[in-house]
Amino acid sequence: MDGWLILWKHHSGRGSGGGGEGFWKQQRRRWDVSLGYRYPRVFSGKWWTVGSNNPTVPIVPSHVHSINDSVTAEEAADKYTFAIRQLVKTRTVSVSDISDCPKFDLILLGMGHDGHVASLFPNHAVLDEKDEWVTFITDSPEPPLERITFTLPVINSASNVAIVVKGERKAEAVHLAIDNIGHDSPSLPAGLVQLTKGKLVWFLDKPAASKLDGLQFSE
């Protein structure tokens, strides 16, 4: 693969209650992405699939940009921002013609049962961040407490965003985010993913999609 790849683990972080330094360091070596029944993983710079002993896509190690786990969350966010700015400066990553944010080819997100994406949680002040590309939180409502995350302007500046969701537990959040049921409904972070000039695609299994309005499944 010749192109540059920015690999992002949206809940990389450290903190108490399931986080901790061991968690942070483990996630530096591993990114999990759920797509139906296949789980691509990154180990030592190669994509793997469950049940396979052979890497399916080789990735040049220098193309992987991970979070610095030896500093504070604030410093890690600053260093990651600097790394991305260098990629923009060298035109490895382009810039949105609408905002000054980097324009990634693809951002792949999951969604929590509360409707959070990346580490952007409902009713959290981080949702209002407009100036930073990468930011941090130290009060996550679920472990790990400390997290590093792309901000909404960066996500919404991408050329393509895919949100992958599975499971009945997340069906209500999928319904609220996609069906746009009115101003009285809670503003879920997943529903705030609205690309300024790009394509958003949801990948849902049947349980996750079960509460969508007017949806019919064919056998």
Residue ranges making up the domain that contains 200: 13-209
Q: CATH number for the domain including 203?
A: 3.40.50.1360
Q: What does the pLDDT look like over 175-193, one tens digit per residue?
A: 999 987 555 556 799 999 9
Which residues touch 52 (CB under 8 Å, ≥6 apart)? Answer: none
Mean pLDDT of the chain: 75
CB-based burial, 110-121: b 16+ in 10 Å, e otherwise: bbbebbbbbbbb
Q: Give me the number of domains the chain comprises.
A: 1
5 in any annotated domain: no
Q: Is residue 164 part of a domain?
A: yes
The pLDDT tens digits of the residues spanning 64-117 come to: 788 887 899 999 999 999 999 999 999 888 999 888 899 999 999 999 999 999
Lowest mean pLDDT among 65-74, 86-95, 119-128, 140-149: 65-74
Kindly state whether residue 87 falls inside one of the protein's structural domains: yes
Does residue 174 sit within a domain? yes
Tokens of 67: 């979070």
Examine residue 42 and state whether it is found in any structural domain, yes or no. yes
Whether residue 110 lies inside any domain: the answer is yes
- Quickly state the pLDDT bin for 12 (edges 50, 70, 90): very low
Q: Is residue 216 part of a domain?
A: no
Confidence label for 213 from pLDDT (cuts 50, 70 and 90) = confident
Strand duo 160-165 + 199-204: pairing: parallel
Indicate the range of 9-13, 82-86, 115-119, 206-210 predicted with least confidence.
9-13
**Residue 2 domain-assigned?**
no
pTM: 0.75
